[in-house]
Amino acid sequence: MSELILASVSPRRRELLAQAGFAFRVVPAEVTEHEAPDADPRHMVLHNAALKAEWVSARHPEATVLGADTTVFIDNVVLNKPRDPAEARAMLRRLGGRTHTVFTGLAVRRGRDALKLDLGVASEVTFKPLDDATIALYLDRVHTLDKAGGYAIQEQGDLIVAGFTGSLTNIIGLPLEETKQLLTRAGLKH
């Protein structure tokens, strides 16, 4: 059985994959992700996940490599990681009182047998109406600059989230059921 490598530095993805019971190591992909605000989010996350998985797989052809990418989509605009607290505040203002979609792309690659598996997952999140005081409190409590859309549902989510449909782990950054299915198809056991 081949070794599993996670091509991501995301602490949330590491936690979720460990929680799923897989033994793995992390090798960050040194790639430039496509993050245009006007990109089709479904294609963008699949492209970025594949880019990461292929970069690592080319350097570790015997391993099974998992790449993932997550983004937030509202008003036909992709919200990636905010550049600064002001942008995080603007994102939360835009999301307040509305429903948006969280897209994650998954890519599994293995060089030795040219394995290529790809899957896209979508979930919907509805935010409570947010005033400036609630946004300030949330940003004071949660580091959001490394999170698509400027928020983390699993951190102080009760302050901002009214509800969601679909996979909670997708919203966090790695849809576990779909990841398990892909890795099982790749021949890995957890």
Query: Which residues belong to the active site?
Result: 69
Listed in sequence order, the residues at least 6 apart from 158 whose beta carbon sits closer than 8 Å to its beta carbon are: none
CB 128 within 8 A of CB 153: no
Residue with token string 């994102």: 91
Alpha-carbon distance of 105 to 107, in angstroms, equals 7
Residue 76's alpha-carbon distances to 44, 71, 108, 112, 131, in angstroms, are: 13, 12, 28, 39, 23
Task: Dig out the tokens for 44 from the structure.
Answer: 């963008």
